[in-house]
Amino acid sequence: MSTASVSLDLDNLWAYLKTHGNPEWERRPSFLPTAVPRLLEAFGANGLTTTVFVVGADVERDDGAKAVADITAAGHEIANHSYGHEPWLHRYSRSRLEAELARTEHAIITAGAPRPTGFRGPGFSVTHTLLELLAERGYRYDASTLPTWIGPLARAYHNRTAPTGGDRDLFGGFSRVRAPNAAYRWRVGTGLVELPVTTMPLLRVPIHGSYLLQLHQVSPRLARGYFTAALRLCRARGVQPSLLLHPTDVLGAAEAPGMEFFPGMAVPGARKVEFLGWVLGALRAHFDVVGTGEHVRRLEASLPEQDTGLLARCG
């Protein structure tokens, strides 16, 4: 049976509000105490070991440190999702990028988890400089690319309701559709493995949790049919999918105040949990499902190489 992976970006409520330009983020509201137990229960019910990408600013807090301890105790991998969760890392200087990595690593180790070897940039933000730093600091893989053409459409959807008008280059451009939809190794200067967040083969539209829930909000049958079609295409095209989840995949709107703009938030939390169980079950029916670190370990001996010039074309 082919391998697939599941990962969770443990983005907190304050991080979503910050990106959206809502000043309420400065109070640092958190939904981790509600979301993390639900997610761990869903993973446990499906017998899954996953990878959780954590934000350093949260891990320094009591609720974030507890989340890391609970996630680690359940056998899941902890990976680095930056310190401040700003989806414009591509604008950072080298020294600021290094500080983001180092401070999050320290927080993760202090919380009792092993030093991370995987990284994902917020908003799928990645640069050549970031890849160099990851390699220098002993990381094995990056998971910051989303090979799709809908970035500008997602940005327009997001910015339409942002109080400050949004961000001009959030989520990248149409050219990201040219990026590979399967794992590869960066050739120049790093040797890092890149494990993209899988999009539907051929159509290159997202299949991760928030997009599935937006469809579920329209029609549960449509969402199930869409994901079933994606899995069939993955099998037919030989793509080993890497599925991305977020805490909002198990939370209703009342549990995430201020996030009415986010896809799928009209779906009640209990229905989201039920749907997530179906998604994980459907994935397990056709693939051996692991975390991203284990997925990379199984693939890395036979991966093609890709020039990092791709970053310039896909930014």
Mean pLDDT (the chain) is: 91
Lowest-pLDDT choice from 194-198, 218-222, 308-312: 308-312
Long-range contacts of 108-111 (CB under 8 A, 24+ apart): 108/54, 108/56, 108/59, 108/68, 108/78, 108/80, 110/59, 110/65, 111/59, 111/64, 111/65, 111/68, 111/69, 111/72
Instruction: Give residue 187's pLDDT.
Output: 78
Nearest to 243 by CA among 300, 195, 186, 304: 195
The Cα 220–Cα 226 span in angstroms is 10
Q: Decide if pLDDT at 313 tops 50.
A: no
- CA 177 to chain CA centroid, nearest Å: 18
Q: From CA 200, how far away is CA 230, in angstroms rounded?
A: 5
Q: What is the DSSP letter of 26?
A: G
- What pLDDT, on the 0 to 100 scale, is given for residue 69? 98
Residue 272 lies in a domain: no
pLDDT at residue 314 in the model: 41
Tens digit of each residue's pLDDT (9 = 90 or more) over 61-116: 999 999 999 999 999 999 999 999 998 898 899 999 999 999 999 999 999 999 99
pLDDT at 45 over 50: yes
Q: Is 257 inside a domain boundary?
A: no
| Beta bridge mates, 301 | none
Q: Would residue 210 count as lying in a domain?
A: no
Domain region containing 111: 3-200+283-313
Q: Is residue 231 part of a domain?
A: no
Task: Say if 269 falls within a structural domain.
Answer: no
Total tally of structural domains belonging to the chain: 1
pLDDT above 90 (res 171): no
Q: Is residue 100 in some structural domain? A: yes
Answer whether residue 57 is part of any domain: yes
User: How much is the average pLDDT of 44-70?
Assistant: 98
- The answer to whether residue 246 sits within a structural domain is no
* Listed range (15-19, 89-93, 163-167, 202-206) with the worst mean pLDDT: 163-167
- pTM score, two decimals? 0.93
Residue 315 pLDDT? 42
Query: Tens of pLDDT along 267-298?
Result: 999 999 999 999 999 999 999 999 999 999 99
Q: What is the pLDDT of residue 15?
A: 96
- What integer pLDDT is reported at residue 178 of this predicted model? 81
CATH value at residue 100: 3.20.20.370
266: confidence class by pLDDT, cuts 50, 70, 90: very high
